[in-house]
Chain A
Amino acid sequence: MALKALDIYKLLPKKNCKECGDPTCLTFAMKLAQGKVEPDLCPYLDEEAKNILGASTRPPIQKVTVGMGTLSFTVGEEFVFYRHEKTFYHQPGIMYSVSDTESDDRIREVVSQVRGCRLTRIGIDLVLNGLAVYAESRSPERFAAAITVVTQDNPDLPLVLMASDPAVMEAGLAICGNYLPLIRGVNDQNCEAFCTLAKKYGAPLVVSGNDPEQLAANASRCTGLGITQLMLDLSGTEGEFIRASTLVRQAALARSVPGLGYPVFLDVRSSGFSGLITGITKFASVIVTRPLTRTEMQAALVMRQNIYTDPQKPIQMTPGLYRVGSPGRDDPVFLTVNFSLTYFTLQGYLESTRRSCWLLIVDTEGMSVLTAVAAGKLSESVVKDAIEKSGLASEVNHKTIIIPGYASPLSGRIEEYTGWKVIVGPRDAAEIASFIEEELK
């Protein structure tokens, strides 16, 4: 478990010398607790304190990267059991599976499903991460041929290679090994051979075991053979997965079992969509699933985005001018903050009125209207800045903006500072329909 700021503070010299760059030891301790600075910045730490702080700020779960280039992704480096304790950092890679016994056309089709999937929410692209090819044929030639179908047009697509015969795996790696695919298929018999392959290509390796003890022992065996990019295979039914992943996460965070401090691999080809959702919420880092329906894929990607949102930093809408419907030059302009929920709520109510309008989103660092007004993040200068940057004046024929009810104390100052007329709207977005009906006939 990571140390709290006050625990860290007790280990510091408490001189407030500022040599670390922070004004006081306490602020330095707070940054250490958040993992934002390294303990080495303090020149007066004794060895014991360094050891304690070093161990507590080093991630308890190893960082592992799958793939090369812009599509590669990194997992691991997690610090907490509950997302509300801090945040989950590295969202799981979701990989669609294909068998090497499927036709080349089918393989191409799945590849295009993966590459063509792009869902944009609040300005963020949500994507699938790659493809898992499994050697159902057990033939080195066929496995290599299937991988060639994928890599011909998409050499940079991250892959998971799944085969338990080292000769088959080697044939696959000969095609794509340099792109650092994740290798899955280690068992008790082939461990040395697989470690040799992983080492040769520098590729990450999934290890398995029938129970946590064996899993930890196998992982340690691989590290003993020089492999550090490891993942732990916890595939099973949804229930088996939850129980294993809870235990592994707890052991990893407690740093009590060195062999369990790695990200988790999960194959949900048999448990399906609910298995995928389970993996997303409960600590899986790479999830292999059969290709999903489009609606399942969307729900899963949004769930992943939700769970991996930093609770201390709300999802923010990109500030700017947005259209609701197809507004013309005389339609009203509503102003609101860039807290995503505020935006979603207001946008939903505006859409349901079926009245086209403009929505000017100002940057309040993701704060809601009430908190932004209280904290001074929503002010006349912020509004002026937003009006200018968005080019609002060139889009509409009037100079009137409607501000949220909770921002009413600012109305006079906004008018003076921007020269725009201000109408105070309702406090609650639910009242926007009657507001439009009564005030904007």
Chain B
Amino acid sequence: MTISYSPGWTASIREVVIGATAAEGGTRRISYRIGGESDLPCIGSGRKPLIAFEICDDPALWPDVIRSACTKLVDNPPAWAAYVDTTLQADLIRLNLTSTRRRNFDAYDAVSKTVIAVLQATSLPLIIEGSADADIDSEVFQRCGEAGEKEKLVLGTAEAARYRSVAAAAIAYGHSVIAQSPIDVNLAKQLNILLREAGVPDDRILIDPYTGALGYGFEYTYSTMERIRFAALKGDGDLAMPMICAPSDTLTIKEVRAAVHSHETAVSWEVATAVAAALAGATILVVRHPGSLAPLRTAIDSLWKEEVA
């Protein structure tokens, strides 16, 4: 008697391409084709999740633990990006344009400059988090999109209430979009439909289910991701996009802020969240603490079988 696993899936996750090499019209040394899984995480021949490391252009609002872990880099996004690329060896860099969160922000030229400088400092594909304010979205995303033209960036973040600017920049310059909904499978689906109607092709959307921090609602994120993956594998094309999940959100919680051994705490909590997120179906795991990279890489290599080339 052979006992076999028979999940009864009928569909697979859609593939999304991130980054463009010279052959693909960009300047990245590598590009990634993510998604394509036709089973649960770690089962079958699905691809390993990628690790994205977060940097920003204005660290004032970032957790102390990150500013102290990256002291000499936090005021220099290109140097920070180069460090993430060559020393930490992340798969992707997520550049957060936190400067745009300041009141009365209007330094749009600086946005373009930062994006271009980071693109020059690293040859990894980039995710760019633009503004979070509808009043300046249009200009900020336009600048990001333009500065990274042909590089197949991932632009974030589209939400149900403000997605048109980021969608427009993605369509105009050939980038993908992160679609974030508040930990709810139906809202995730709805936003994907809105983006499609706005003209964003399905294979250029990533779902961000919104990451509740460990101990502060992570269980909702975990189950929402499992439900999205389940729905996608059962054939719901509106949810069949790869997911991006940000365990780095865990770094803002009290346990980490108040910790005596704050770096050790940050790494433990971030890695725990990232491993669980990967098992729930995340395709891109976003971390912020340099110490999280190595243990997370080891865990993923052990969880996933060697990829079949």
Q: Which of chain B's residues have a CB closer than 8 A to the CB of A294?
A: 261
Interface string of B205-249 (1 = CB under 8 A from A): 000000010111111001100110010000000000000000000
Confirm or deny: B161 has a beta carbon within 8 angstroms of a beta carbon on chain A. no
Write out the residue numbers on chain A whose beta carbons fall within 8 Å of the beta carbon of B43: 242-243, 246
The stretch from A9-17, A166-174, A269-277, A376-384 touching chain B is A269-277
The CA-CA distance from A302 to B212 in the complex, in Å, is: 13
Bound-complex Cα distance A164 to B214 (A) = 38
Contact (Cβ within 8 A) A273 B271: yes
Give which listed residue, A82, A242, A293, A299, contacts B272 with CB less than 8 A: A299
Cβ–Cβ < 8 Å partners of A394 in chain B? none
User: Which residues in A have their C-beta under 8 angstroms from that of B280?
Assistant: 281
For B253-276 the 0/1 string (1 means CB < 8 A from A) is 111000101001101110111011
Interface size on A, residues (CB 8 A): 47
Task: Establish whether residues A348 and B254, one from each chain, have CB atoms under 8 Å apart when the complex forms.
Answer: yes
Residues B222 and A306 in contact, CB atoms below 8 Å apart = yes
C-alpha spacing A311/B212, complex, angstroms? 14
Is there contact, CB below 8 Å, between B3 and A260? yes
Do A243 and B42 touch across chains, with their CB atoms under 8 A apart? yes
Q: Is the CB of B223 within 8 A of A82?
A: yes
Quick check: B303 and A242 within 8 Å, CB to CB?
yes
Return the CB mask of A279-308 against B: 1 if under 8 Å, else 0.
Answer: 011100000000001111011101101110
> CB-CB < 8 A to B271: which residues of A?
273-274, 277, 299
B134 within 8 A of A: no
Q: Are A305 and B215 within 8 A (Cβ)?
A: yes
Q: How far is it, in angstroms, between the C-alpha of A1 and the C-alpha of B2 when the chains are bound? A: 21
- Contact between B3 and A257 (Cβ–Cβ < 8 Å)? yes
Which residues of chain A in 45-82 are interfacial with respect to chain B, using CB atoms and an 8 Å cutoff? 82
Beyond A250-B5, A260-B3, A295-B261, is A300–B272 a contact (Cβ under 8 Å)? yes
A353 interfacial by beta-carbon distance below 8 Å: no
Q: How many A-B pairs with Cβ below 8 Å?
A: 131
Q: A251 on the interface (CB 8 Å rule)?
A: yes
Known: A238-B299, A278-B279. A306 touches B254 (CB 8 A): no
Structural contact, A281 and B276, CB atoms closer than 8 A: yes
Q: Which residue of B lies closest to A244 (CB)?
A: B5
A238 → chain B, closest Cβ, in Å? Answer: 4
Give the contacts of B276-296 with A (CB-CB under 8 A). 276, 279-280, 295-296
List residues of chain A with CB within 8 A of the CB of B298: 274
Name the residue on B nearest A310 (C-beta): B219
A302 to B219, CA, bound (A): 10
Partner of A299, one of B40, B212, B214: B214
Partner of B219, one of A239, A251, A307: A307
At the interface, yes or no: B308 with Cβ under 8 Å from chain A? no
Task: Establish whether residues B214 and A84, one from each chain, have CB atoms under 8 Å apart when the complex forms.
Answer: no
**Are B222's CB and A296's CB within 8 A?**
no
Q: Which of B7, B223, B265, B268 contacts A311 (CB 8 A)?
A: B223
What's the nearest-Cβ distance from chain A to residue B302, in Å?
4
8 additional contacts (CB under 8 A) given A247-B3, A271-B302: A82-B227, A83-B226, A121-B215, A246-B43, A250-B5, A277-B271, A282-B279, A303-B276
Chain A residues with a Cβ under 8 A of chain B: 82-84, 121, 212-213, 216, 237-239, 242-243, 246-247, 250-251, 256-257, 260, 271, 273-275, 277-278, 280-282, 293-296, 298-300, 302-303, 305-307, 309, 311, 341, 344-345, 348, 351
- 21 interchain pairs, CB-CB under 8 A: A83-B222, A84-B226, A121-B215, A237-B302, A239-B302, A239-B303, A239-B305, A246-B40, A250-B7, A273-B268, A273-B295, A277-B271, A281-B222, A298-B265, A299-B268, A302-B269, A306-B218, A307-B219, A311-B219, A341-B216, A345-B216
B residues touching A (Cβ–Cβ < 8 Å)? 1-7, 40-43, 212, 214-219, 222-223, 226-227, 230, 253-255, 259, 261, 264-265, 267-269, 271-273, 275-276, 279-280, 295-296, 298-299, 302-305
